[in-house]
Amino acid sequence: MNHAFGATAVAVVSVLTIGIGIWGLRFSRTTSDFFVASRTVRPALNATAIGGEYLSAASFLGVAGLVLTYGAGMLWYPVGWTAGYLVLLTLVAAPLRRSGAYTLPDFAQARLRSKQVRVATSALVVAIGWLYLIPQLKGAGFTLNLATGLDNRLGGLVVAVVVLVNVVTGGMRSVTFVQAFQYWLKLTALLVPAVFLLMVWFGDGATSPADAVFDLPGRSGWADPLSGLGAHPMYTTYSIIVATFLGTMGLPHVVVRFYTNPDGRAARRTTLVVLGLLGLFYVLPPVYGALGRMYAGDLVGAGTADTVVVELPTRMVGGTGGELLAALLVAGAFAAFLSTSSGLTIAVAGVLSQDVLGRRFGGIASFRLGACIGVGVAYVFAVLAEDVGVATAVGLAFAVAASTFCPLLVLGIWWRRLTDVGAIAGLVVGGLTSGSAVVRTFVATEDSGWFSTLMAQPALWTVPLAFTAMVVGSLLTPDRRPPHVTRFMVRLHTPEAVGVDRG
Amino acid sequence: MATTLGASLGRVFRRSHLGTEADRATFRTLHEASLAGPALREGLTEASAERSIRHLRSLLGAPVVALTDTQRVLAWDGPGAHHSDQVAALARSTEATQVAGPSQLGCHLVSCPVQHVVVSPLVVDELVVGHMVVGTPYPTAGLVRATDEVAAWVSGQLDLAELDASRRRLVEAEVRALRAQISPHFVYNSLGAIASFVRTDPERARDLLLEFADFTRYTFRRQGDFTTLAEELRSIEQYLLLEQARYGERLRVVLRIAPEVLPVQVPFLSLQPLVENAVKHGLEGREEGGTITVVASDLDRECEICIEDDGVGEDPDVVRRALAGTGDSVGLANVDERLRHAFGDEYGLVVETNVGAGTRVVVRVPKYAEGLHP
C-alpha cells in the first residue's frame, strides 16, 4: 500500500492519543454549570470506554486472519470474547463493584484478608498483562511494516515507545472519554471500508466464499463449524469456549473500569451495553476474513494472513480510494494497539510500582519505572516469539486468566467456604498448568498429537483443575475461613437500595 | 541414664538462661500481668473482665477470683459462684480492702473454697468503679496484701483505659464540632445574602434557600464516617454557591473534576473545611477578590484533590504548627489526622504556601483501602 498514507494515519493516531493524554480534557467549569452528581460516568459511556480498551489487535486483525485461514470454526473466538461479558454480567459485575475493590489483588485481599493471596494475584496480573501485551506489539510491528515499510521489529519498538510516552506523560489518567472515542474510531475504521468492499463484492456477482477456489491442502470444508481446529476439533472448540467465556473477567485492564460505576446496578448496566457494543463490532472482522478468502487467498500461503484486513482495500477497490480506506484501517488498527497496550501497561506498572518497586522509589518514579519494565519485557518477548500468531497468544492469555482469576472471583463471590490456602492452591495449580502450556506453545514446533492439542488449548482441563484445587484446599482448611466472610457476602450481594448495615 | 542426662542438661539450660527460681517467679508474674493488661485497658466491662480474670487468678494463686462493678459481679473464675449475690452486696458496701468471714458468707458446703473473701476496691480518678474479690478457705496476711497490690495495678490499667477513651472522645468531639462548625457568621451572612435577592430576583433567592437547606442537612448528618467524593463535592459546591451569593464577582470558582474518581470513599467532611479555609485566605484583605480552584484528578490507584487559592498565603511555620495541632486552626489538623488514621501516614495533608504566594492543599486518597468499607 501507499506508505505516505499509512505513515500519516499512524502519526495522526499517535499524536492525537498522546496529545489527549498529556493535555487531557482540561476544560474547566464554574459552579453555575457544574453539578457533580450529574457528572458521574453513565453506564453507556463507561461501556463504550470498556469496548475501546478491550478491542485489541487480536480482534481488529487476528480474527479476520483466523477466519481466512481456518474457516468457520474460528468464529468461536469473537463469540467467546463477547459472551465472556455475559458470564461477567451474571456472576461477577455487580458484586465486584460492591466489594469496593479497584484491582483484582484488591478484591483478593478484601475477600480473604491475606497478604500472600494478594502477592499471588499481583504476580498473575503481571504475567497475564505481559502475555496480552506481546501480541499487541507484534501486531503493531507488522501493521507498521505494511503501512510504512518499516522493519517488523522496529515497528514494534516504535509502538512500545509511543505507548510508554503516552503512559508516562499523561496515561495515568485513564480518561473514560478518550477510551470511548477509541471504540468509535475502531468501529468506523472497520465499518466504512467494509461497506465499500461489500459493494465491490456485490458488483463481482456475490459468490459464496465457501466455494472460492484456492489451492491449499487440507483446507476443504472451510464453512464447516469444526473446520481448521486441528486433529481434535471437538476438544479444541470446547476449550476455546471455556477459555474465552471465563477468561474475560480476569483481564486486569477491564476490571479496573468497573470501579468507575457508581454502584453495582450501574456496573450491571454497563456490562449489558458492552455486550451490545461488542456484538456490533465483532460482526465485521469475519466479513473481512470471508472476503479475503476470495480476494487475498495467497496471504495464507505467505503466512501473513493477519494482514488481510489492511490488504483488502488496495486489492479490491484500488486507486487512491483504496489507499485511503487502507489508511483508515491502519489508523483503526493502530488505535487498537495503543488503547489496549496502554491499559495493560498501566495495570502492569501499577502492580510493579505498588507491590515490587514502591518501597525503594517514590510514587510517580516507581510507576514510570514499572511502565518501562512492563513494556520492555513484553517487547523482548514479542521479538523472541516471532512465530506465534496474534490471536493464538491472546487466546493463551485468556486461558491463563480463566484458569486463575475465574475460580478466584467466582468462588470468592459465591462460595463462603473459600480460604486463603485454597485460593493459593488454585492459583498455583491453574497458573502452573496453563503457564506450562504457554511456554510449550511458544517454544515447540507444531504437531498434531493429543499432547500437543492439550497444550495448545489448555483451558478445558486447566480450569476444572484450578477449581478443584481451590475447593479441595479450602475444604481441608476450614479453620482458615476469614471471620468477616458473612458480613462481606452481605455487602457483595445486597442491592444498594436495601438499607442494611454494610459496615 | 539418658533421661537423667536430659533432665540435668535441661536444668543447666534453664538455669543459665532463665535465672533462679525467684527470677522465674518474677517472670511468670510479669507474664501473667502482661496477658491481663490489654483486656483491662479496654475499660471495666463484662467482656474485658471475662478475658482478664483467668490471668488475675493465676497472678494471685488463689482458688477463686471475681471482678465486680459497682452493682454486680462481672466475671467469676473458680468454684463457688453461688456466692455471687452475697459478694456483690458486700462489694457495694466496701470502701477499703477488707476481709469477710463465714459469719457474713454462711456457707455450709464443705467443698466450697469461699469460706473467706478479700474484697479490694478498684479506684479510677478517686472514684470506686468496682471491686476485686478473692475467695479463699483461710485468709492470710500475704493474700490480703497481694490482693491489695493487684487491685491497685488493675486500677492503674483502668486509668489508662479511661485515658484512651477520653482521647477517642476528643477526636469524636472534634468531628462533631466540625460538623456543627457551620459558623454563625456563615449562617448569618448567607441568610443576609439570600434576603437581598428576595425582591430583586425571587427565583434565585428560592434556589439559594434550597441549597442552604441541602447543605445544612448534609453537614448535620449523623451516620457514617465516610462518604463518596461525589457527595462531598456536592456539598462544597453548595457552600461555594452560597458564598458566591454573598461575595458576588469577588469570589471566582473553578472546579475541574475527573468523573472517574467520583465514587472514591473519603472521610466525611474532610474537604469542606479546606475549601472554607481557601475562601477565607483567598479573599482576605483583597479588594479585587480571588479565585478558588478545586481539582480532582485520577492517578490510577489513587485520586488527588487539590484545593488552591491565589490569596495572601501563609507563613509555612504557622501552617506547620497548625498541622501539629498547636496552632489555632482546628480544621487543618483534624482533617490531617483523620486522613492519616483512615489511610495511613503516607496520606497526610500536603500544604504548599508562602507569604504572598497563595495556598495549595493537596489531599491524596487511595481508591481501595484495606478494611475500609464503602
Please name each of the domains of chain B with its CATH number: 18-174 (3.30.450.40), 180-366 (3.30.565.10)
- By Cβ distance, the residue of A31, A35, A39 closest to B253 is A31
Contact A31 B234 (CB under 8 A): no
Interchain contact B237–A (C-beta under 8 A): yes
| Cβ(A304)–Cβ(A64) below 8 Å | no
pLDDT class for A465, splitting at 50, 70, 90? very high
Contact (CB<8Å) B254/A29: yes
Distance (Å, whole) CA B39 – CA B52: 6
Q: How far is A167 from chain B (nearest CA, A)?
A: 11
B259 touches chain A (CB under 8 A): yes
pLDDT band at B374 (very low <50, low <70, confident <90, very high): very low
Question: Cell 504437531 appears where?
Answer: A447
Contact A100, B265 (CB under 8 A): yes
Q: What is the pTM of this model?
A: 0.78
Closest-CA distance of chain A to residue B254, Å: 5
- Between chains, do B368 and A40 touch, taking CB under 8 Å as contact? no
Kindly report which listed range (A2-6, B3-7, B270-274) carries the lowest average pLDDT score: B3-7
The verdict on a CB contact (< 8 Å) between B257 and A367 is no
Q: Cβ of B234 under 8 Å from any chain A Cβ?
A: yes
Q: Give B240 to chain A, closest Cα distance, Å.
A: 8
The pLDDT tens digits for A246-296 are 999 989 888 888 888 888 999 999 999 999 999 999 999 999 999 988 888
| Structure confidence at residue B179 (pLDDT) | 58
Cell 486461558 appears where?
A399
Residue A38 has pLDDT above 70, yes or no: no
Please give the mean pLDDT across all residues of chain A: 85
Q: Where are the domains of chain A?
A: 3-22+40-213+220-386
Between CA A108 and CA B22 the distance in angstroms is 51
Helix (H/G/I), strand (E/B), else coil: A130: helix
Question: Which one of B256, B259, B300 has the shortest CB-CB distance to A346?
Answer: B300
**Distance (Å, whole) CA A247 – CA A241:** 10
Q: How confident is the model at residue A193 (pLDDT cuts 50, 70, 90)?
A: very high
Interface check B62 vs A, CB under 8 A: no
Q: Which residues of A touch B254 (CB under 8 A)?
A: 28-30
Contact A174 B298 (CB under 8 A): yes
**Residue A27 binned pLDDT confidence (cut-offs 50, 70, 90):** very low
Mutate to test the interface with A, among B214, B300, B303, B372 (most CBs of A within 10 A): B300
Whether chain A has a CB inside 8 Å of the CB on B254: the answer is yes
Pairing, β B290-299 against β B251-257: parallel
CB pair distance less than 8 Å for B234 and A36: yes
Q: Give the pLDDT confidence of B112-164 residue by residue, as tens digits.
A: 777 788 888 888 888 888 888 888 887 788 888 888 888 888 888 888 888 87
Which of B:293-332 have CB within 8 Å of A? 297-301
Cβ–Cβ contact B241 with A under 8 A:
yes
Which residue from B minimizes the CA distance to A253? B300
Interface residue B373 vs chain A (CB under 8 A):
yes
pLDDT value at A220 more than 70:
no
Question: B266-302: per-residue pLDDT in tens?
Answer: 988 888 888 988 888 888 778 888 899 998 888 878 8
- Indicate whether A33 pLDDT > 60: no
Triad A281, A56, A274: Cα angle to 5°: 45
Candidates B228, B229, B301: best to mutate against A (most CBs of A within 10 A) is: B301
- Minimal C-alpha gap between A172 and chain B (Å): 5
What is the structure's pLDDT at B53?
84
Banded pLDDT at B2 (limits 50, 70, 90)? very low
Angstrom distance (rounded) from CA A447 to CA A455: 11
Q: Which three cell numbers stand for residue B212?
A: 442552604
CB count, 10 Å around CB of A65? Answer: 27
A contacts of B240 (beta carbons < 8 Å)? 31
Indicate yes or no: CB of A262 within 8 angstroms of CB of B244: no
Confidence of residue A29 (pLDDT cuts 50, 70, 90): very low
Please indicate whether, in this complex, the C-beta atoms of B265 and A502 are within 8 angstroms of each other.
no
CB atoms A100 and B368 under 8 Å: yes
**What stretch of H or E contains B66?**
strand B64-69
Rounded Cα–Cα distance for residues B342 and A186 (Å)? 42
**Cα nearest neighbour of A29 on chain B:** B255
Checking A68-71 for CB contacts under 8 A at 24+ apart, the result is: A68/A288, A68/A289, A68/A290, A68/A292, A68/A293, A68/A296, A68/A297, A68/A299, A68/A300, A68/A305, A68/A308, A69/A228, A69/A300, A69/A305, A70/A227, A70/A228, A70/A229, A71/A219, A71/A221, A71/A222, A71/A223, A71/A224, A71/A227, A71/A228
- Per-residue pLDDT of A468-490, as tens digits, reads 999 999 999 998 888 888 889 99
The enclosing H or E element of A174 equals none
* CA B345 – CA B47 distance, rounded (Å): 32
Chains A–B, number of C-beta pairs less than 8 Å apart: 91
- Measured CA to CA in angstroms, residue B344 lies from B59, B186, B331 at distances of 38, 33, 19
Give the tens place of pLDDT for each residue, A284-314: 999 999 998 888 888 887 778 888 898 899 8
Query: What's the start-to-end Cα distance of chain B, in Å?
Result: 66
The CATH topology of domain A3-22+40-213+220-386 is Sodium/glucose cotransporter (1.20.1730)
Higher-scoring residue by pLDDT: B315, A129: A129
Give the residue on B whose Cα is nearest the Cα of A40.
Answer: B259
